[in-house]
Amino acid sequence: MDFINAIILLLNYIFVPALTYGSQLALGAIFVTLIYGILRFANFATGDMMAFGTMVTILFTWYFQSLGISLGVLPTALIAIPFAIIFMIGYMLFIDKFVFRYYRVNKSPPVQLAMVSIGVMFVTQAVVRIIIGPSDRRFFDGEKFIIKAGEFKEMTGLNEGLAIKSSQVITIFVTLILVSILFWFLNKTKTGKSMRAYSDNEDLALLSGIDPKKVVMITWIIAGILATIGGALYGLDKSFKPFTYFNNMLPIFAAAIVGGIGNPFGAFLGGYVIAFSEIFITYAYKKFFMYILPESMEPETLVQLLSTDYKFAVSFSILVIVLLYRPNGIFKGKVL
Amino acid sequence: MMGLILLVGIFQSWNVALSIFNLCLISAVMTMGANVQWGYAGLINFGLMGYAALGGLAAVLISVDPVQEAWRAGGFDILMCLWLIIVMIMAIRFILKNFEKSKYRTYGIAAIIIAGIIIIRVTAEPGIEAIEAINPAKTGFLGGFGLPIMFSWIIGAFFAGGLAFVVGKVALGLRADYLAIATLLISEIVIAIIKHEDWLSRGVKNVIGLDRPVPYEVNLQTTDWFINLVAKFNSSKLELISNMADRQTALNQLVIEGSSVFVKLCYSGLFLTVVIALLIVTQKALYSPWGRMMRAIRDNEEAANAMGKNVVKQHLLIFILGSAIVGIAGAMLVTQDGLFTPGSYRPMRYTFLIWVMVIVGGSGNNFGAILGGFAVWFLWIEAAPIALFLINLFTSGMPDTHALKVHLIESVPYFRYLMMGLGLLLIMRYRPKGILPEKIEIK
């Protein structure tokens, strides 16, 4: 019985939250990696683009709520997301046309494009804060929990409860569906293959008749979809605050590089690697050991490798280690 | 640029103008540091905030008096840890030198690091708890050396240079945009450590009331020569007041205002000395054979390598030098504020804004860096009043209670981001080399 309790404890405090957080990071990391692989620059505006998408989602959610439309047990934001995506794609294409295209046509070095993306970051950040303000907002409605800790305890008669929030389940499901569609698109369709070819060798791709404009446009469209959904899921699960989104850019970058930048599958797994290691290393295992060890050996301290203050630092340290030992990432991406 | 600051002095107040001027000078120093790395050598360093924070930490560690009780309670444990860390590094170095590269070596090093961390935690824990328990509202940390705070400008440079050495060893081989991300993330780690190790510098509880290299306002207000000076400056104004008591109150008011202006002027003098000294040194370096070599390395690494220049070594050197300058700026900032707030070292303010200064001013040109520091900081501060003015102008037709107008006026502080972003984008597009582009004169 104690053993099952210990497992449930880990499920509740480590596995479910890490899986959710990892899914959110994974979407962002695929976004970074796609931009890097096809447009060839590190996009420092990632976090703020996600904040922009989330902001549009929130605005639509409020609009639908004022009209009285709702999905019942599911959050209203799910209807808002498709509209937000359309808006976001427009925004992405607008930025590309007026900002990034010039440098791409002139074949500027990637560093210059990265600098330009910092300009975009400043502007997007300003727009988001001017429109919706910098404060913390929750826009989750509908049924909050699928299983509550108390109900679970009653059902199974265990000491430890397992709480699963519906936002967590939605996050994991949506991520899995979206990522499967994306990989199917990249690997099976002609457009997807042409994108991969373009990313692999631009000159060769151009010679074989691939239209670069179309490839770039589709990349931004996919990026818009990923940014909106990734951002909205994070906002549903936790809350929407522009500053947090800006900060999330850092673990997202870490996930993309750890997975091997330019490699979408690597980025997908990189998100989970970062999320799990962050939570594994900063979790206090005292209770876990209390269950599995006999009473005489119970630990007195918290049995915590690092305090939770260092959550972000953990993921960055992993990045540094990966850069030192496998600069191409765990799943070989582009050569650095 | 000076004219603009003078205008602020005339229209807003001399106090505001001087505080903008001082921060402009500090920004100029930071920008020069970034410019040495980016303009001279083409190295991109997004970790500026970490070096600035280390400079600030140096200011705390140098100027605060040592907390004797804390040293007695936990000093031994901390020194023990320091010793353990040194032993760990020596052991790793020994293994790296004397064993062939193999899987076992990698595992061995990993084992040493993990075991080391666990041992350090076990040794440090009681010491840290004891230190933090001593008068947590006021001290709760080890304190510093109790030296004049000006020393910290040099020590801050050494701290930052030391960090740059480690970061450079790890990350300098990476391609430009990876280097940017890696330096940014490593700086975040450093700041996380400064924020959460309370025994070192009180962490997010902040250290306040640091010593000053200049007189205090309160002392000035009771000093005779200063009162006489103020009276002399304003003699014409004072003579207009006939009543003796009124004249005395007016003088007192002037003395209070004058004292804070005087203190700021003292800071300006100190900072100006640093800026001019750095400007002379960097200008000399730019036109020296060493500067030529750096440009050669920047423009064509392979060719410079073929000419027998040690690219890796020079990159590391310039990375350390530039970071050290940023460290000086960090120490100067804390000296001016008199307080150290680790929570305020955010990438937005201490990395990206400084980079905007570098790009806008003109990379590779020291005067451009200073101009960028001045222009961008000035805009950053004055953006809110400008935005307020523009909003009022464009919405003058609307009633004051109109929802849009109220909303816009509430979000005035965020227009500065918009201005910075647009400024950066426009400069990058139409003047990619900055306002003052790099000029290479061959003498």
Of B176, B181, B417, the CB nearest to A126: B417
Contact B418 A319 (CB under 8 A): no
The residue of chain A with its CA nearest to that of B415 is A126
Distance from C-alpha of B298 to C-alpha of B42, rounded to nearest angstrom: 6
Q: What is the pLDDT of residues B113-159, one digit of tens each?
A: 888 888 887 888 788 888 878 777 777 788 788 888 888 999 999 99
Q: B151 vs chain A: nearest CA distance in angstroms?
A: 31
Window from B9-18, B263-272, B365-374, B411-420 with minimum mean pLDDT: B9-18
Q: Which of residues 207-266 of A touch B (CB under 8 A)?
A: 246, 250, 253-254, 257
Question: Chain B closest CA to A151's CA: distance in Å?
Answer: 38
Can you tell me the distance from the alpha carbon of A49 to that of A231, in angstroms, rounded to the nearest whole number?
9
Inter-chain CB proximity A253 and B181 less than 8 Å = yes
Distances (CA, A) of B154 to A148, B55, B90: 58, 9, 27
Confidence of residue B382 (pLDDT cuts 50, 70, 90): confident
Q: Under an 8 A CB cutoff, do A118 and B355 touch?
A: yes
Give residue B363's Cα distance to chain centre: 19
- What the block records as the tokens of B56 is 């600030």
Q: Rg of chain B's alpha carbons, rounded to an integer?
A: 25
Mean pLDDT of A288-316: 78
- Entry field: residues in chain B: 443
Contact residues, chain A, for B117 at CB < 8 Å = 305
Number of other CB atoms surrounding residue B109 within 10 Å: 15
- pTM confidence score: 0.90
pLDDT score of B221: 81
| Contact assessment for residue A331 and residue A260, using Cβ atoms and an 8 Å cutoff | yes
The pLDDT of residue A332: 67
Measured CA to CA in angstroms, residue A215 lies from A28, A199, A334 at distances of 20, 10, 19
Contact (CB, 8 A) for A95 and B389 = no
Confidence of residue A295 (pLDDT cuts 50, 70, 90): confident
Of A309, A312, A336, the CB nearest to B188: A312
A121 shares contact with chain B (CB less than 8 Å) = yes
Interface pTM (ipTM) of the complex?
0.88
Give the chain A residue whose CA is nearest to the CA of B181.
A253
Average pLDDT (A70-87) is: 89
pLDDT at A335 over 50: no
Q: Are B362 and B369 in contact (CB under 8 A)?
A: yes
Q: From B199, B193, B205, B202, select the one nearest B78 (Cα to Cα).
A: B199
The predicted structure's pLDDT at residue B222: 81
When mean pLDDT is compared across A119-123, B245-249, B338-342, the lowest value belongs to B245-249
B246 vs B331, higher pLDDT: B331
Q: Do B425 and A313 touch (CB under 8 A)?
A: no
Using alpha carbons, select from B197, B140, B159 the residue that is nearest to residue B59: B159
Interface touch A99/B421, C-beta < 8 Å = no
Across the strands, what pairs with A284? A304
Closest Cβ–Cβ partner in B182, B414, B422 for A130? B414
Amino acid at A66: S
Picking from A102, A122, A316, the nearest residue to B417 by CB comes out as: A122
How high is the mean pLDDT of chain B?
87
Residue B28 is predicted with a pLDDT of: 94
In angstroms, the separation between the Cα of residue A135 and the nearest Cα of chain B is: 11
**pLDDT greater than 70 at residue B355:** yes
Task: Tell me what pLDDT residue B232 has.
Answer: 81
Q: Please check the confidence at residue B187 and state whether its pLDDT lies above 60.
A: yes
pLDDT tens across B103-112, in order?
A: 888 888 888 8
Q: Is the pLDDT of residue A334 over 70?
A: no
Residue A324, pLDDT above cutoff 80:
no
Q: Nearest by CB to A310, from B173, B192, B352: name it.
A: B192
A16-58 tens-digit pLDDT = 999 999 999 999 999 999 999 898 889 999 999 999 999 999 9
pLDDT tens track for A146-174:
888 888 888 887 777 888 888 999 999 99
Per the CB < 8 A criterion, the answer to whether A53 and A88 are in contact is yes
Which residues in chain A have Cβ-Cβ distances shorter than 8 Å to B113? none
Question: Is the pLDDT score of B377 beyond 80?
Answer: yes
Percent of chain A whose predicted confidence (pLDDT) is above 90: 46
Mutate which: A98, A122, A241, vs B, most B CBs within 10 A:
A122
CB contact under 8 A, A110 and B176: yes
Task: Please list, in sequence order, all residues whose beta carbon lies within 8 angstroms of the beta carbon of residue A68, skipping any fewer than 6 positions away.
Answer: none
Predicted confidence (pLDDT) at residue A336 exceeds the cutoff of 70: no
Question: Using 50, 70 and 90 to split pLDDT, how confident is the model at A315?
Answer: confident
Using an 8 Å CB-CB cutoff, list chain A residues near B173. 327
User: Using an 8 Å Cβ cutoff, are A262 and A29 in contact?
Assistant: no
Q: How far is CA A259 from CA A26, A178, A233, A270, in A?
A: 10, 18, 21, 4
Q: What's the mean pLDDT in B308-314?
A: 91
Mean pLDDT confidence for B301-308: 90
Given phi > 0 = left and psi -120 to 50 = alpha, else beta, which region is B271?
alpha
Q: How far apart are CA B228 and CA B217, in angstroms?
A: 15
Q: Please compute the mean of the pLDDT values over residues B71-77 and round it to a whole number.
A: 81
Is the minimum CB–CB distance between A323 and chain B shorter than 8 Å?
yes
Three-state SS annotation for chain B: CHHHHHHHHHHCCHHHHHHHHHHHHHHHHHHHHHHHHHHHHCCCCCCHHHHHHHHHHHHHHHHCCCCHHHHHHHHHHHHHHHHHHHHHHHHHHHHHHHCCCCHHHHHHHHHHHHHHHHHHHHHHHHHHHHHHHCCCCCCCCCCCCCCCCCHHHHHHHHHHHHHHHHHHHHHCCCCHHHHHHHHHHHHHHHHHHHHHCHHHHCHHHCEECCCCCCCCHHHHCCCHHHHHHHHHHCHHHHHHCCCHHHHHHHHHHHHHHHHHHHHHHHHHHHHHHHHHHHHHHHHHHHHCHHHHHHHHHHHCHHHHHHCCCCHHHHHHHHHHHHHHHHHHHHHHHHHHHCEECHHHCCHHHHHHHHHHHHHHHCCCCHHHHHHHHHHHHHHHHHHHHHHHHHHHHHCCCCCCCCHHHHHHHHCHHHHHHHHHHHHHHHHHHHCCCCCCCCCCCCC
Closest Cβ–Cβ partner in A99, A109, A316 for B186: A316
CB within 8 Å of chain B, chain A residues 296-315: 305, 307, 309-310, 312-313
Residues of A in contact with B196 (CB under 8 A): 307, 309-310
Cross-strand pairs, A164: A147
Tell me the C-alpha distance between A251 and A245, whole Å: 11
Over 60: is that where the pLDDT of A280 sits?
Answer: yes
pLDDT of residue A297: 73
CA–CA gap between residue B197 and residue B53 (Å, rounded):
14
Report the gap between the CA of B396 and the closest CA in chain A (Å).
Answer: 19
Q: Give percent of chain A above pLDDT 70.
A: 98
Tell me whether residues A116 and B193 touch, CB distance under 8 A.
Answer: no
Instruction: Characterise B123 by phi-psi region: left (phi > 0), alpha (psi -120 to 50), beta (else).
Output: alpha
d(CA A239, CA A167): 11
B-facing residues of A in 78-107 (CB < 8 A) are: 99, 102
Question: Looking at the DSSP assignment, which residues form a beta bridge with residue B339?
Answer: B208
Q: Which of B362, B357, B355, B358 is nearest to B434 (CA)?
A: B362
- Top-confidence residue, A85 or A258: A85
Average pLDDT for residues B168-175, to the nearest whole number?
83
A17-46 residues touching B, CB cutoff 8 A: 41-42, 44
Which of B167, B181, B301 should one mutate to test binding to chain A, selecting the residue with the greatest count of A CBs within 10 A? B181
Give residue B252's pLDDT band: very low, low, confident or very high (50, 70, 90): confident
Quote the CA–CA distance of B213 and B381 in Å, as a whole number: 26
Looking at residue B441, what is its pLDDT?
61
If you measure CA to CA, which chain B residue comes closest to A120? B421
Residue A330 sits at the chain B interface (C-beta within 8 Å): no
A227 has a pLDDT exceeding 80: yes
Q: Which domains does chain A have, with CATH numbers?
A: 2-325 (1.10.3470)
For residues B319-347, give the mean pLDDT: 92
A to B CB pairs, distance under 8 Å: 121
Q: Give the whole-angstrom CA distance, residue A208 versus residue A28.
A: 31
The residue ranking higher by pLDDT, A336 or B402, is: B402
For residue B359, give the chain A residue with the closest CA.
Answer: A115
Q: What is the tens place of the pLDDT at every residue in A83-142?
A: 999 999 999 999 999 999 999 999 888 888 999 999 999 999 999 999 998 888 888 887
